[in-house]
């Protein structure tokens, strides 16, 4: 795992009146247990993947309560789990990552929202928007509006987050509608405390099972039921939701003494707004703002009369709504005009149309709002000067640096087993000419960056092969498609492989089998061999491929560059038609090191003999052409000054980050590069035989060099 929560999950046992201390995602888990949830599931994926990790580590607590945990094959499967809440009073929660997960789950979500629910149904979405995100930049808001699913966006403190989880279930049941709870990256990991309640055993669970099935044709999404369901959404469920939001005061109002203006903010951005106000001298250190704030912990549905109530008597209100379209701003205009309220709405005219609302963006936007509206009793010149002073730090830093800081895009980890495959692909291209590569989501997407620059399109998780079907028949060379084992099990087996066999497509598929969904924290998948409970699964990629009709299958160890070069070359040039699949086997190096390093440390401490391999470059042999760097891209393979006045070019150098994967040596052999690479074995706790061999080696080397015998010893 990327992170273990085995110690932290003990806080999930806290009872009535105890105080929880920890981070947001643990608080969400505790809130689920306090709410009497019957089942939980989801698809792992950063940043919210930690929720599945926490639940896996808390399996013992879930078993005590009778809560069922399901690690779903994809987001569609997770959304379909909530079907249990359609007919029965079962509270269920599922989780996935942002719009990319909601895209996959959308079919099930539409049917779920149309049918409506009896038990509370909560969808915890990791809203991965902004510069720290790894996905396309879209918001989840539109999905909620489209399907009439209520959207919670809680203020980022643990008490509010926990309240929104608990009241989210109540809102769902009061309005017979599924509810989405979106948490941004910072909210997932914000730290704090809240007063806990005792965990609740669900009304029905595997400890108290349902006795009889319930059938209601009105819950089936077929005509004529669907027409009645659509009408019920608007005539019954929406009014019920609005009543619940008002009655339980899910949205919050914070007063301020400058009441001729105000700020309406999505709950998730409350902390950023208050911090910006503090920087501008408009709020104190306790977060008490001089400007009134209306916090939308529920961003859909919006409550029109609350907007009217907040804006009445104010000359201007700023709406802080991240991203486009500006749904909330448009709605505010509609509500106020219909109520004949002439308050000026300010939003995207002072804040960016798109992009993450970080501290600097909010400071500048609020300062422009204050400068333009001139609130009574506010020294606007001081506010403007403060922003200029804060912005000046950035300009001063740029001046001191003298030039922009170079971009540092993500890349393959040191020793990554996927890097050698792209080295082999570059070598094959020298023989066949460039070929189109349909890339996929995963660590292997880093191949699109230097030094490889391979991967012409990325369409979605597990869709590498499917995205090649249009270009393949219209291209000179065979198209190569990429897929990770995570994407293969997610949906690549059906949308890609089965589809290619069905259509008799002639192409090449490269499946990276590193054993985990590595990019999101090394969670277990079918090809890991065990599930999250470490129970054997008996599933493997080859059997699945053969099961859908693939005939041409080759397995190659990823670090064997020469063999990979040959197999890929054969796949590209063979006259045999149909889909050709190469399985590139190589366990994620991070997982390897996490297992290996503790074992090695213990062995050294116990006095056992431990051998560590290190690679290096003989500076005397290195010519400085750096073809090895261009073919590898390993972060531990760099350059340094030769130290030789006769060599003007820097030489290749292997730094301390090396994990001895052997790729540099493999590349040197496969590409017939210079023989400057060497491998050295570092022996800790050497035996007497090791010491004797080392002494003889040093004497022999000294004799070959014509110098006096060396008498050193190994450490």
In this prediction, residue 594 carries a pLDDT of: 84
In this prediction, residue 457 carries a pLDDT of: 93
Residues in the chain, pLDDT under 50: 1, 712-715
The token duo for 674 is 């210079």
609-684 CATH choice from 1.10.10, 3.30.60, 1.10.3110, 3.30.70: 3.30.70
Going from N- to C-terminal start, the domains of the chain cover: 8-247, 252-401, 419-591, 609-684
Contact by Cβ (8 Å): 16, 67:
no
Specify the CATH number of the domain 252-401: 3.40.50.920
In this prediction, residue 715 carries a pLDDT of: 44
Specify the CATH number of the domain 8-247: 3.40.50.970
Find tokens 């909210």 and name the residue.
187
Query: Rounded to whole angstroms, what are the CA distances from 636 to 116, 141, 593, 652, 677?
Result: 55, 42, 15, 10, 13
Do domains 8-247 and 609-684 share one topology? The answer is no
Contact by Cβ (8 Å): 332, 307:
yes
Selection from 296, 322, 357, 326 nearest residue 154 by Cα: 296
Q: What is the pLDDT of residues 300-359, one digit of tens each?
A: 999 999 999 999 999 999 999 999 899 999 999 999 999 999 999 999 999 999 889 998
Residues 6+ apart with CB under 8 A from 97: 43, 45, 46, 47, 48, 49, 125, 126, 128, 135
Selection from 158, 156, 160, 94 nearest residue 121 by Cα: 94
Fold of 419-591: Rossmann fold (3.40.50)
Residues 6+ apart with CB under 8 A from 704: none
Q: Which SS3 state, helix, strand or coil, does residue 611 take?
A: strand
The β-bridge partners of 636 are: none
DSSP letter assigned to residue 210: -
The DSSP secondary structure of 648-664, one letter per residue, reads: -S-EEEE-TT-----HH
Considering the entire predicted model, what is its pTM? 0.88
In this prediction, residue 1 carries a pLDDT of: 43
């Amino acid at each position: 795992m990327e992170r273990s929560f085995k110690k932290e999950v003990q806080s999930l046992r806290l009872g009535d009146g105890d105080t929880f201390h920890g981070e947001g995602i643990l608080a969400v888990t505790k809130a689920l247990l306090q709410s009497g949830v019957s089942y939980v599931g989801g698809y792992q994926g950063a940043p919210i993947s930690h929720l599945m990790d926490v639940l896996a580590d808390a399996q013992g607590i879930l078993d005590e309560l009778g809560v069922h945990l399901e690690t779903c094959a994809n987001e569609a499967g997770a959304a379909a789990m909530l079907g249990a809440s359609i007919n029965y009073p079962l509270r269920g929660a599922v989780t996935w990552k942002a719009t990319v997960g909601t895209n996959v789950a959308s079919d099930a979500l539409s049917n779920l929202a149309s049918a409506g629910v009896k038990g509370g149904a909560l969808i915890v979405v990791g809203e991965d928007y902004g510069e720290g995100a790894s996905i396309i930049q879209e918001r989840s808001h539109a999905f909620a509006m489209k399907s009439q699913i209520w959207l919670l966006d809680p203020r980022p403190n643990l008490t509010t987050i926990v309240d929104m989880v608990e009241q989210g279930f109540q809102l769902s049941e009061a309005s017979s509608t599924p509810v989405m709870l979106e948490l941004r990256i910072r909210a997932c990991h914000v730290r704090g405390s809240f007063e806990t309640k005792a965990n609740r055993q669900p009304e029905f669970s595997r400890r108290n099972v349902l006795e009889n099935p319930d059938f209601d044709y009105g819950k089936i999404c077929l005509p004529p039921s669907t027409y009645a369901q659509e009408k019920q959404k608007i005539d019954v469920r929406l009014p019920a939701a609005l009543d619940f939001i008002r009655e339980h005061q899910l949205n919050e109002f914070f007063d301020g003494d400058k009441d001729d203006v105000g700020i309406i903010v999505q709950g998730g951005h409350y902390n950023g707004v208050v911090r910006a106000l503090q920087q501008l001298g408009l709020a104190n250190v306790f977060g008490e703002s001089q400007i009134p704030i209306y916090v939308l912990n529920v961003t859909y549905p919006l409550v029109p009369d609350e907007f009217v109530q907040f804006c009445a008597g104010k000359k201007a209100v700023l709406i802080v709504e991240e991203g486009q379209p500006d749904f909330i701003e448009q709605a505010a205009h509609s509500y106020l005009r219909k109520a004949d309220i002439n308050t000026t709405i300010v939003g995207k005219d002072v804040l960016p149309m798109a992009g993450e609302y970080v501290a600097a963006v909010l400071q500048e936007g609020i300062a422009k709002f204050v400068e333009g509206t001139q609130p009574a009793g506010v020294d606007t010149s001081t506010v403007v000067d403060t922003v200029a002073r804060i912005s000046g730090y950035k300009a001063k830093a740029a001046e001191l640096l003298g030039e922009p800081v170079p971009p540092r895009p993500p890349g393959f980890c040191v020793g990554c087993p996927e890097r050698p495959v792209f080295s082999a692909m570059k070598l094959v291209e020298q023989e066949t000419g460039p070929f189109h590569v349909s890339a996929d989501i995963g660590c292997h997407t880093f191949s699109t960056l230097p030094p490889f620059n391979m991967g012409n399109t990325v369409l979605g998780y597990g869709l590498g092969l499917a995205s090649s079907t249009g270009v393949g028949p219209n291209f000179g060379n065979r198209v190569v498609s990429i897929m990770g084992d995570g994407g293969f099990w997610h949906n690549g087996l059906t949308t890609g492989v089965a589809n290619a066999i069905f259509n008799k497509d002639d192409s090449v598929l490269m499946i990276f089998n590193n054993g985990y969904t590595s990019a999101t924290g090394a969670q277990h998948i079918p090809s890991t061999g065990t599930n999250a409970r470490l129970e054997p699964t008996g599933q493997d990629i080859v059997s699945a491929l053969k099961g859908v009709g693939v005939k041409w299958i080759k397995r190659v160890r990823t670090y064997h560059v020469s063999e990979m070069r040959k197999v890929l070359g054969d796949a590209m040039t063979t006259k045999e038609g149909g889909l050709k699949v190469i399985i590139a086997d190589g366990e994620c190096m991070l997982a390897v090191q996490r297992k290996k390093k503790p074992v090695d440390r213990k062995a050294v401490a116990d006095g056992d003999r431990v051998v560590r391999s290190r690679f290096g470059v003989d500076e005397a042999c290195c010519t400085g052409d750096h073809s090895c760097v261009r073919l590898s891209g390993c972060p531990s393979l760099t350059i340094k000054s030769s130290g030789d006045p006769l060599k003007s070019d820097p030489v290749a150098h292997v730094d301390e980050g090396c994990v001895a994967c052997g790729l540099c040596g493999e590349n040197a052999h496969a590409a017939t590069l210079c023989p400057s690479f060497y491998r050295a074995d570092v022996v800790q706790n050497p035996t007497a035989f090791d010491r004797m061999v080392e002494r003889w080696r040093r004497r022999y080397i000294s004799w070959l060099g014509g110098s006096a015998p060396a008498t050193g010893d190994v450490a």
